[in-house]
Amino acid sequence: MDDCLFCKIVRGEIPSYKIYEDDKYLAFLDIAQFTDGHTIVIPKKHFRFIWDIENVGEFYEFAVKVANHYRSLGYEFIDSASFGRLVPHAHYHLVPNKKDGNDWEKALENIGALQRDEKRRLTREKALETLAKFKLEKS
């Protein structure tokens, strides 16, 4: 895709700090470092969502390779998430931390606030309503 930020990184039109790459996937430092080493993992081929990647298992194997490398460097926790609507290219965040500073807490502050918000707690009524909408039946 011509105007996709991550496609431009893959093509070398925008510089990046590459952690690792192979012929199909690329891991590079996120410009917005949640913690030291916060990494974005992408397929080199453009897909809008992770769920569209042709062999998503292979994509996750690549991400696991990078995460395990961080673990070998002494990072006990490698938080991960698939979010980000700002760049319309499938991507996965790896956020390494040793839980030895407050970067981790700062990075997840807003998520923690959402989790602690009592008004967001799932009631039985809301759970049943949501379950009726989202439940996947065996085929």
- For 17-61, the pLDDT digits (tens) are 999 999 999 999 999 888 889 999 999 999 999 999 999 999 999
d(CA 82, CA 79): 11
The torsion defined by the Cα of 47, 52, 55 and 57, in degrees rounded to 10, comes to 110
Contacts of 38 (CB under 8 A, 6+ apart): 29, 30, 32, 93, 94, 95, 96, 107
Model pLDDT, residue 29: 96
Question: Is pLDDT above 90 for 109?
Answer: no
* pLDDT computed for residue 102 by the predictor: 61
> What's the pLDDT tens digit per position in 60-106?
999 999 999 999 999 999 999 998 788 999 999 999 988 766 666 66
Task: Indicate the pLDDT class of residue 119, thresholds 50, 70 and 90.
Answer: confident
pLDDT in tens, 121-131: 888 998 899 88
- From residue 32, give the alpha-carbon distance in Å to each of 63, 93, 95, 134, 137: 19, 11, 11, 33, 39
Q: What pTM was computed for the model? A: 0.84
Q: Which numeric CATH code is attached to 5-134?
A: 3.30.428.10
- Domain-by-domain residue ranges, the chain? 5-134
